[in-house]
Amino acid sequence: MKFYSTNGVAPLVEFKDAILTGLPPDNGLYMPQKFGTLDKSIFAIKDFPTMAFEAAKVLLDGAIPDADLRKIIDKCYNFDVPVVNVHDNVNVLELYHGPTCAFKDFGARFMANTMSYFLRSGNRKVNILVATSGDTGSAVANGFYNVDNINVVILYPSGKVSNLQEKQLTTLGGNITAFEIDGTFDDCQKIVKTAFLDAQLSGEFNLSSANSINIGRLYPQSFYYIWAYNRLAGTSGSEVVFCTPSGNFGNLTAGLIAKRMGLPVKKFIAATNVNDVVPEYLFTGTYTPRPSQRTLSNAMDVGAPSNFMRMTDMYKTVDAMRADIVGYKVTDDETRATIHDVYERCDYMLDPHGAVGYNAVMKYISDTGEADPIIMLETAHPAKFGEIITDTLGIAPTIPPQLQACLQKDKVSVKCSKDYDEFKGKVREYLIR
């Protein structure tokens, strides 16, 4: 089974090359020629790693031998993935029990361990360059921490990430280096893009990306859709609705993949903050990417979602997409009101991203009268957004032990201006060959 580029120009590649290079040379995104079909027995498996292993076997179609794949899965998923009923038919899939307390741990850990598997001979070493505005960087850094033959350089905008996020990025050490850029997130991203296009640098070092455009991050995110379905519907075959708070739409696309594999999903709710290009597209049929606006759910402040290309590749027309996905936009005022309301009424604490999802669920229920089970994906622990929660509820969320631990460590970063040549001069000593 091979991977093609959504732009249709680049040659077909194996899974190994799709994951190690990240992006096809024609600027499209890699997609598999087929997704495979789940055996119904998977819906009876009550243990996450075993279930994930069965799903991964179907997706990878032999690209990694079973015994090795099982080892990778066991290394990645050693934390809880609970489904919690909030009220009536509304449930939350808590994806924040991993090492960095955000759902990105699922994708980052799988990608890291899979890359490491393909590089196990040690003949080839890879440097991951990643720009982050917060969450991605810490999940990636953590996923790759102490992984052989891989080195990570993270770029983050100085003074523009929260204290907790900064600690998560700068306290690992080892094969992880944090560059603190005197500039914005866009400046960081520009440096990374320039580095990838720099023939001299990429001639000297193997460089790779690790954002949600890598198919190796997307695939494992389909596992927890199957898992949540298991918990609620088992082998009944009945349909459920998923709601995914979205920015670059990698998480939602992973759900679409699970559906293609045979997961009985009635509808996907695409929940966004005011950066609503996809809900707008579903509503009007016109796609208008634009600069992002800052919101409380800042990991979803995306004006040109990178995975939209994959969605159109899967559906071809807006009508086909509408049959599976409905979009809702949620404002910051609604986000705050939802955090407050759900805490008061249901004694359940949502983070701002989950609050966007929950609010979209309420709008969907009010539009459709939906009575089937609905599963909202809670993408981050509320403690990661402690200030907003404290501001809204007047109480501070409990900080989970894994976040507490990194708060106590000392920050180590390499300070650098946003000038590419300065970065290039400094980064060399942190790259491996």
270 touches ligand PLP by CB under 6 A? no
* Binding letters toward ligand PLP, positions 352-381, x by CB under 6 A: -x-------------------------xx-
Question: What phi, psi does 124 have (nearest 5°)?
Answer: -130, 135
Q: Considering beta carbons, is residue 10 or 164 the nearer one to ligand PLP?
A: 164
Q: Name which position in 149, 168, 170, 248 contacts ligand PLP (CB under 6 A).
A: 248
157 touches ligand PLP by CB under 6 A? no
Cβ at position 353, least distance to ligand PLP in Å: 4
Task: Pick the closest to residue 323 from 277, 265, 379 (CA basis).
Answer: 265
209 touches ligand PLP by CB under 6 A? no
Q: Name which position in 100, 209, 246, 359 contacts ligand PLP (CB under 6 A).
A: 246
Show contacts with ligand PLP in window 162-191 (CB under 6 A). none
152 touches ligand PLP by CB under 6 A? no
In whole angstroms, give the CA distance from residue 433 to residue 431: 7
Cβ at position 179, least distance to ligand PLP in Å: 20
Cβ at position 113, least distance to ligand PLP in Å: 20
Q: Considering beta carbons, is residue 64 or 357 the nearer one to ligand PLP?
A: 357
Query: Which range of residues in 84-92, 122-130, 242-250, 395-403 is near ligand PLP by CB under 6 A?
Result: 242-250
CB-CB contact of 304 with 290 (8 Å): yes
Return the HEC string of 77-92: CCCCCCEEEEECCEEE
Q: Which residue type sits at 94?
A: E
Cβ at position 200, least distance to ligand PLP in Å: 32
Q: Which residues pair with 309 in a beta bridge?
A: none
CA distances 430 to 109, 116, 128, 129, 402, Å, are 22, 19, 11, 11, 27
Query: Which range of residues in 41-49, 240-248, 256-264, 276-284 is near ligand PLP by CB under 6 A?
Result: 240-248
220 touches ligand PLP by CB under 6 A? no
Question: What phi, psi does 254 have (nearest 5°)?
Answer: -60, -35
Cβ at position 102, least distance to ligand PLP in Å: 5
Q: Is beta strand 30-32 parallel, antiparallel or unpaired with respect to 3-5?
A: antiparallel
Q: Is beta strand 83-87 parallel, antiparallel or unpaired with respect to 90-94?
A: antiparallel
Q: Considering beta carbons, is residue 216 or 247 the nearer one to ligand PLP?
A: 247
CB-CB contact of 95 with 243 (8 Å): no
Region class of 149: left (phi > 0), else alpha (psi between -120 and 50), else beta: left
Task: Pick the closest to residue 35 from 198, 178, 219, 169 (CA basis).
Answer: 219
* DSSP SS3 for 179: strand
Query: Which range of residues in 31-39, 65-73, 239-247, 398-406 is near ligand PLP by CB under 6 A?
Result: 239-247
Q: Considering beta carbons, is residue 233 or 243 the nearer one to ligand PLP?
A: 243
Length of the chain counted residue by residue: 433
**Binding site residues, ligand PLP, CB under 6 A:** 102, 104, 135, 212, 245-251, 299-300, 353, 379-380
